[in-house]
Amino acid sequence: MDYSHFFPLFFLAAILTPTVTAKPQGDGFVKSSCKITPFPDVCVASLSSYAARLEADKSQSELVMDAFKVSLSNAQPMTAWAVTLYRRTPGLNKRERAALNDCVKDFGDTSDQISQSVAELKHLKPSTFKFQMSNVQTWMSAALRDEDRCLEGFQVARDGRVKKLVQGRVQGVSKLISNALALVNALASTQEHSKLF
């Protein structure tokens, strides 16, 4: 397979350098909303670039949308990153190659699931709100399973640089997806969703 059209590894590493290390500040809307997520510090830090607008609007639906956008922007480059890692890492053994190949598909599926979710969130309607929320919850749960499936492929692989790199990237993206799912679950459970429209 020709992977020459993918970005160089060093460029992708720069793109995928975690950007959610800022320490959460204040007790505002974002911080209080993120308390329900499994990784609240990551949640607050990942939404820092949206914080001013979110604090002003205090819109739960906008918070959810921004969390999904962050998840998608971090998930989308993963496929190309895995392909480049496969192509440019010397000395990969058979198990590592097989695991990376599987991860390429898993990462693509993850991005598709999140993309579908974002598209659904953009067109919420009062009459179909519960159905749409169910779709999004299903897709985001599937996105998490795709990430877990990638890691499962490395369970039998040797411990080493490649395994650690993949685990680190996957765990970072999985935290964002888990947080987005928790936020959308909270939105889905609201009894006053008509106020969203």
Convert the pLDDT of each residue in 27-73 to its tens digit.
599 999 999 999 999 999 999 999 999 988 889 999 999 999 999 99
- Supply 177's token pair: 């997806």
Neighbour-count burial for 50-84, b at 16+ CB within 10 Å, e otherwise: bbeebeeeeebbebbbbbbbbbbebbbbbbbbbbb
User: Cβ distance 163 to 154 under 8 Å?
Assistant: yes
Say if residue 15's pLDDT is above 50. no
Could you confirm whether domain 9-13+23-196 is CATH 3.40.50.410? no
For 74-121, the pLDDT digits (tens) are 999 999 999 999 999 998 999 999 999 999 999 999 999 999 999 999
pTM given for the model: 0.83
**pLDDT surpasses 90 at 165:** yes
**What integer pLDDT is reported at residue 141 of this predicted model?**
98
User: Which residues, in sequence order, are CB contacts of 35 under 8 Å at separation 6+?
Assistant: none
DSSP 76: T
pLDDT digits (tens, 9 = 90+) for 177-197: 999 999 999 999 885 555 565
| pLDDT(4) > 80 | no
Nearest to 60 by CA among 153, 195, 154: 195
pLDDT band at 21 (very low <50, low <70, confident <90, very high): very low
What is the enclosing helix (H) or strand (E) of 183?
A: helix 161-188
Cβ partners under 8 Å of residue 33, min gap 6: 43, 60, 63, 183, 186
